[in-house]
């Protein structure tokens, strides 16, 4: 009876066969088993879109598919497919060291079973197992290890600070950061007019969302800054926009409020350029432009000016 071979090339010698060469064949088998269990090899897949077939080498060492660790190399200019025979059962450590923004797929030579693919930008490592689970449609699956991918973890948790290492955390529109109850959230989005927007939602209608400076020293400023000649706008809703200046206990406050929409006003008031002095009041000193978009320059006036005006008016009226 002649020798037979496993799907990874190990020779199974028949009883009484290979007299005089049994030892050599046994040593070759041991070398094959060694490369299956812990061997490393490189496989170039350089070139345009193509399929690279990894074949078994019966009774001899060196077959790429019979190594535990396979590193794909070369400059690729098209999507790549790497295949193994339908009967191979093995788990692999795969590394994609190719250059070129194209996918690398690892699959069985035929059938509709699952496969594993490195994306066009994934130049990393994968642990996969080839199951040979079906005679015509076997599957290959990726083994999730550590934090190589958290897509399948529906509730990932951190054990410490998250350092983004100079990278960004990206959100799609209408999604952001939620609290653990899912009630309060910060949403980063782009509106239909391509304007960036930050929404802060609070499920408790009686409490307004807030942005506050905390920690560190007892007195910390909170700064808001537009760019260039841009403004910081206080938006209106069902009422005109208002700025409320609270007392130190935040139990009450005064408001500066815009005229109602019906007034159609867009004027600007500029504060005085001179020093504040006691006994003065704010008055419009000069105006540039006109109408609803006029710009008024304020200055500090004195009460004596009002008294003199009243005196003159009284003199004209009463003679």
pLDDT tens by residue, 82-101:
999 999 999 999 999 999 99
d(CA 163, CA 144): 22
Q: How far is CA 193 from CA 1, 189, 197, in A?
A: 79, 11, 11
The β-bridge partners of 99 are 75
**Portion of the chain with pLDDT greater than 70, in percent:** 88
Q: Tens digits of per-residue pLDDT, 241-292?
A: 999 999 999 999 999 999 999 999 999 999 999 999 898 999 999 999 999 9
Strands (E), the chain: 4-5, 11-12, 40-44, 50-53, 69-73, 80-84, 90-96, 104-108, 116-118, 125-130, 140-143, 175-178, 185-190, 196-201, 242-246, 253-257, 268-270, 280-288, 295-302
- The answer to whether the predicted template modeling score (pTM) of the entire model surpasses 0.85 is no
Q: Is the pLDDT of residue 151 over 70?
A: no
Give the pLDDT of residue 309.
58
Average pLDDT, the chain: 88
Compute the C-alpha angle 16/20/21, nearest 5°.
90
Give the pLDDT of residue 146.
58
Quickly state the pLDDT bin for 305 (edges 50, 70, 90).
low
Q: Tens digits of per-residue pLDDT, 12-64?
A: 998 888 888 989 999 999 999 999 999 999 999 999 999 999 999 999 999 99
Q: Is the pLDDT of residue 316 over 90?
A: no
Of the listed ranges 126-135, 183-192, 210-219, the one predicted with least confidence: 183-192
- Mean pLDDT (whole number) for 184-207: 73
Residue 17's CB is within 10 A of a number of other CB atoms, namely: 13
Give the pLDDT of residue 113.
94
Q: Is the pLDDT of residue 188 over 90?
A: no
CB 108 within 8 Å of CB 115: yes
d(CA 86, CA 135): 7
Give the pLDDT of residue 283.
93
**Best mean pLDDT range from 115-124, 155-164, 181-190, 300-309:** 115-124
Give the pLDDT of residue 128.
96
d(CA 319, CA 14): 139
Give the pLDDT of residue 200.
80
Give the pLDDT of residue 152.
62
CB 98 within 8 Å of CB 75: yes
- Mean pLDDT (whole number) for 182-203: 74
Task: Look up tokens 């500029």; give the residue.
Answer: 270
Higher pLDDT, 113 or 164: 113
- The distance between the two most distant Cα atoms of the chain, rounded to a whole number of Å, is 145
Pairing of strands 125-130, 104-108: unpaired
Give the pLDDT of residue 191.
67
CB 53 within 8 Å of CB 109: yes
d(CA 225, CA 219): 19
**Best mean pLDDT range from 19-33, 181-195, 198-212:** 19-33
Q: What is the DSSP letter of 245?
A: E
Cα atoms in the Cβ-side hemisphere of radius 13 Å centred on 145: 9
């Amino acid at each position: 009876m002649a020798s037979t071979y496993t799907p990874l090339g190990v020779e199974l010698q028949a009883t009484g066969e290979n007299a005089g060469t049994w030892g050599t064949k046994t040593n070759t088998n041991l070398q094959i088993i060694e490369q299956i269990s812990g061997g490393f090899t490189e496989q170039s897949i350089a070139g345009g879109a193509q399929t690279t077939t990894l074949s078994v080498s019966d009774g001899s060492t060196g077959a790429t598919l019979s190594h535990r660790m396979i590193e794909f190399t070369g400059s690729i200019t098209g999507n790549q497919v790497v295949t193994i025979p339908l009967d191979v059962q093995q788990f692999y450590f795969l590394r994609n060291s190719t250059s070129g923004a194209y996918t690398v797929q690892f699959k069985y030579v035929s059938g509709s079973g699952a496969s594993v693919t490195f994306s066009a930008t994934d130049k990393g490592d994968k642990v996969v197992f080839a199951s040979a689970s079906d005679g015509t449609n076997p599957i290959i699956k990726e083994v999730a290890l550590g934090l190589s991918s958290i897509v399948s973890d529906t509730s990932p948790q951190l054990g410490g600070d998250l350092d983004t290492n100079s990278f960004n955390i990206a959100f799609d529109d209408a999604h952001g950061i939620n609290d653990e109850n899912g009630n309060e959230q910060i949403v980063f989005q782009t509106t239909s007019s391509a304007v960036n927007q930050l929404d802060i939602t609070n499920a408790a209608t009686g409490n307004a969302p807030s942005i506050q400076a905390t920690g560190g020293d007892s007195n910390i400023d909170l700064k808001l800054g537009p760019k260039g000649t841009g403004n910081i706008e206080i938006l209106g809703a069902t009422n005109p926009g208002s700025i409320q200046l609270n007392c130190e206990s935040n139990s009450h406050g005064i408001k500066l409020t815009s005229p109602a929409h019906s007034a159609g006003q867009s004027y600007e008031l500029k504060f005085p350029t001179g020093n504040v002095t006691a006994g003065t009041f704010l008055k419009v000193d000069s105006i540039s432009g006109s109408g609803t978009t006029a710009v008024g320059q304020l200055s500090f006036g004195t009460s004596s000016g009002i008294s003199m005006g009243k005196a003159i008016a009284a003199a004209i009226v009463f003679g």
